[in-house]
Homo-oligomer: A and B are copies of this chain.
Amino acid sequence: MRDRYFSADPAQRSEARALYESVKHLPLVCPHGHVDPRLFAVPDYQFGSPVDLLIIPDHYIFRMLYSQGISLDALGIPRLPGAVTPADSAGRDHREIWRLVCEHWHVFRATPTGIWLRDELADVFGITLKLNGQNADAIYDAIAEKLGSDEFRPRALYERFNIEVLATTDAATDTLEQHQAIRESGWGGRVIPTFRPDALAHIALPGWREQIELLREVSGEPVHEYASFIRALEGRREFFKSLGATATDHAALTAYTNRLSAGEAGAIFQRALRGEASANDARQFGGHMLMEMARMSGEDGLVMQLHIGSYRNHNPWIQAHYGSDMGADIPIRSEFTANLKPLLDEFGNRRDMTLVLFNLDETTYSRELAPLAGHYPLLRLGPPWWFFDSWLGMTRFLDAVVETAGIANLAGFNDDTRAYPSIPTRHDVWRRVCADWLAGQLIRGFIDEEDACAMMRALAYDLAKQTYRLDG
C-alpha cells in the first residue's frame, strides 16, 4: 500500500507522500544496533532457516506468544546448558515452529512486530501473503528458497538496502576480530564497532570478576587496582576507534551520576574484586563510571549513548531456564533532572561533546528530556527506544519533544535491531512517521514547505550522521 500509515485526511496524506518520497532513496545511516558483525566478516555468510532468522532471535515475537501461553520450548528457544528441554519440544522441526507462529500471528495485529514482519516479507522477500495456519508452509518454503540465494547474502543485502554505515555493539573486552576481518577483506561496506563497557562498569553483575580477567588479558594492563582499570578502558576505547568506532553505549537502571574521588572509587573497586561490594557500592561506582566515560568522551571524541530504565531479566524462571535477554525486560520510572545533574555540572556546557539519551519512560520526554536537551549543548535525544519504536510511540515522541527542544537537538533514527533484514522496514516506518507528522504541521500552518522538506531530510538522514560524527 503506497500511502500506508499516513493520516486519513486526504490533504495531509498527499503532503506526507511528497515528503516521504523526497527521502525514500536516501541511504540508511545505522549508528546504533545489534547486528552480528560475523554476517559481514564471512563473505558468503548464509542465514539458517526462516525460524533461525526470524523467530528464535526475536524477543519481540516470542515474548508476546509466551504471554498467550505458548512455551518458549515450542518456539525452539534453547534451554540453558544443563536444563532439560521437555521431550515434546526437543529438536523441534523448524517448519512446525513456523506453523505454530503463523497460527497465532493474529496476536500481533496492530503491533510494530506485526507491521515490521509484514513489510519485511513484502519488501525484502517479495511475499505479500498474510501469515496464517493455512499458508504457513508455503511461506516457509518461499522464505527458505530466498535465503538460499546469493542475493540474500548479508553483503548483497547491504548494497540492496542502501546502507551507508552500520554500527554494531560490542563488549569493551571484545577483540573485534570480525571487524578486523571485515576491514581486511577489502569489502567496501562500512561496518563499525561501538564500545560498550557495561559488563565492567556494573560491579554487581554476575560474572564481573571474569570480565575483569578478560579485560586484563585483552588490555595488557594489570587491572588489579582502579588506576589501571581506567587505563585499560582508555586503551580499549583507542582500539575501538582504530577500527572505526565513533561512539560508546552505556545502559543503567537509573540515570544516577556521581563523581567519586579516586580514593573512593579505588576502595570500591578493591571491595568488588574481593566480592565484598555492597548494593550501594555498585550504585556509587556505576554513577561514577558514567562520569568517567563522559570524561573520556571529552578527550577521545567518542559520542556517548546512555540507555536508561530497563529492569533486565524481570522473570527469574525464564532467566534460570533460558538465560538473559529473553523478552522479560520491563521498563521502570525514570528521572533525569536530578540524576544527571552531577554529569551536566561537569560536562553539560561542552559544545565539543555529545551525550545521546534514551529511555523507556515516556513521561520524561516533555518534562525532563526536551527541556534538558533544549538547554545543554552536550545533549541530544535518541529516538524512541524498544517498545516505543512504533508508529504511535514515535508520534508521541515528536509531539512531546519538538515544541521544547526543536529537531536540532534530536539524534535522528536508530534501528537498534539484531534482525538485519528488518533494517529497511524500521527506517521506512520512522521516515513515514516523520513525513506524516511534518505533513500535519505543514497543513496546519505551523511550518512551511521549505521547513518541512529540510526537517524531513534532517530526521531521515542528516541528524543521525552528524550526531554520531559519521561524516568523517
- Please report A residues at the B interface, Cβ cutoff 8 Å: 1, 3-9, 11-12, 63-64, 66-69, 106-112, 115, 130, 311, 314-318, 327-333, 335, 337-338, 341, 344-345, 348-349, 351, 360-363, 366-368, 370-377, 379, 387-388, 390-393, 396, 399-400, 402-409, 440-441, 443-448, 451, 454-455
Contacts and interface: CB of A to CB of B under 8 A. Distances in A.
A8 B444 contact: yes
Given A109-B455, A374-B64, A4 B361 contact: no
Given A68-B377, A328-B375, A331-B367, 19 more contacts: A5-B444, A7-B444, A8-B9, A64-B374, A64-B406, A66-B375, A67-B375, A108-B406, A109-B447, A110-B441, A110-B446, A111-B404, A112-B403, A115-B446, A315-B348, A330-B372, A361-B363, A392-B399, A392-B400
Contacts of A1: 445
A390 to B, nearest CB: 4
Contacts of A404: 111, 387, 390
26 contacts: A3-B445, A8-B9, A8-B11, A8-B12, A63-B375, A64-B374, A64-B406, A67-B379, A67-B405, A68-B408, A68-B409, A106-B408, A107-B408, A109-B407, A109-B451, A110-B447, A110-B451, A314-B344, A316-B345, A317-B345, A331-B368, A332-B335, A333-B335, A333-B363, A362-B366, A371-B387
Given A110-B446, A111-B406, A370-B387, A338 B311 contact: yes
Contacts of A333: 335, 363, 367
A363 B335 CA distance: 14
Contacts of A338: 311, 332
A4 B337 CA distance: 35
A13 B109 CA distance: 21
B110 A4 contact: no
Given A315-B348, A406-B108, A441-B110, A377 B332 contact: no
B406 A388 contact: no
A375 B330 contact: yes
B446 A376 contact: no
Contacts of A67: 373-377, 379, 405, 408-409
A328 B372 CA distance: 8
A329 B396 CA distance: 23
B375 A406 contact: no
